[in-house]
Amino acid sequence: MSSTYYADAMEIKSDLVKFMQDIIRIPSLSCEEGAVVNRIREEMLRLGYDEVTIDPMGNILGRIGSGPRVIAFDGHVDTVDVGDPELWDRDPHSGDIENGILYGRGTSDMKGGVASSVYAGALLKKRGIPDDVTFYATGTVQEEDCDGLCWQYIINEDGLRPDLVVITEPTSLRIYRGHRGRMEMEVHTSGVSCHGSAPERGDNAVYKMAGIIADIEKLNDRLEPRDPLGKGTVTISEIRSTSPSLCAVADGCTIHLDRRLTIDETEETSVAEILALPSVQTVGATVTVLDYSVPSYTGLTYPTRKYYPTWEMAESEAAVEAAMTAYKVAFDKKPEVGHWTFSTNGVATAGMHHIPTVGFGPGHEHFAHAPNEQTEVEHLVCCVAFYSALVDQFAKG
């Protein structure tokens, strides 16, 4: 790779890697991101960002430039927990590097994208940002708990609505242009409790749920794939019941559904599918779409519905074409283009607010939430090169 963008990124590699190690070594579960946000703020100020803001929700927004056209590079700073430490070959927060691989929780999902976007800003500051562009690097919170909530807040409350958003989740250095949506529902059956020694006197809510469980499994099997995002899915991720005691018939039973949404599947169509199941109608079960209402680390609560829309950008759209051109300029080869399997903050920027959105990030999706999470150091450098090239292409647009 001989482009100026890549060469410039290589010059700051050591500082980039050190910063990445620093933020990997700071645990930052959802709603506990304060320490890592402060470390990012410190780095942005050191690098000469024009403005660094931590909003009331706790998202950090670093700005360079003041042109009328706004591009934002988003990375969430929260991570999932490490799970069973025995499944890790090293300390999950070590930030160790071995044979060009950086290890630790959040390396792929997704502090690598955060570090690379912060340092793309450093390159822009060093060489000068195009006059008509404003660049933002954002470190957003609570994504693992509620994807897109942070950008709902940034757009609705901070008043920042970019012309282009780049999601820096892991893409294996491919350009991604969408993903399935998702939603969370509960199905509830009601019964009548009685003493467990004479169950015939009651009406067991768990038994009423049995047919619904079977019908949901069949529903998942018959959901059809739709190009280009493939098949939607529905699965039961939790079941629970209520009763006066463990010596009593259950008077309530609830299942939690994880519904993944492909093209043309919405909250309305998905609820209607469940309500139409014969077993649901026979027992008079209720279906509820859930809400998220959990305080951020700052104490701010910003409630939202747990419905995260599907989004997809056509390959012919200007944002995708700019990304493809930037890739060719940065790396002198044609990019691979695809879609994520999992969900990202794009559910808000593109799915809810219809802002042109593309994805490009270091690391690989299959390492997300897994033990021995890792990313290549080379990926961090390549992302800095691509992000800075994309800003220039965006300026030409």
Cα–Cα distance for residue pair 264/352, rounded to 1 Å: 14
Determine which one of 43, 74, 143, 267 is catalytic: 143
**Amino acid, single-letter form, for residue 315:** E
Cα–Cα distance for residue pair 357/386, rounded to 1 Å: 15
Catalytic annotation present for 317 = no
Cα–Cα distance for residue pair 58/50, rounded to 1 Å: 19
**Beta strands 252-261; 233-242: pairing state:** antiparallel
**Beta strands 307-308; 304-305: pairing state:** unpaired
- Say if CB 185 and CB 288 are below 8 A apart: yes
Inter-helix orientation angle 318-331/4-11, to 10°: 70
Task: Quote the tokens at residue 367.
Answer: 């390492």
In DSSP terms, which residues pair with 184 in a beta bridge?
258
- Say if CB 93 and CB 105 are below 8 A apart: yes
3-state secondary structure of 289: strand
Q: How far is CA 53 from the centre of its chain?
A: 22
CB count within 10 Å of CB 142 equals 26
Q: Provide the residue count of the chain.
A: 397
143: DSSP letter: T
Cα–Cα distance for residue pair 363/76, rounded to 1 Å: 14
In DSSP terms, which residues pair with 318 in a beta bridge?
none
Determine which one of 8, 55, 78, 109 is catalytic: 78
Q: Tell me how far apart the 2 most distant CA atoms of the chain are, in Å.
A: 80
H or E, element range at 18:
helix 13-24
Q: How far is CA 303 from the centre of its chain?
A: 18
Catalytic annotation present for 157 = no
Catalytic (active-site) positions: 78, 143
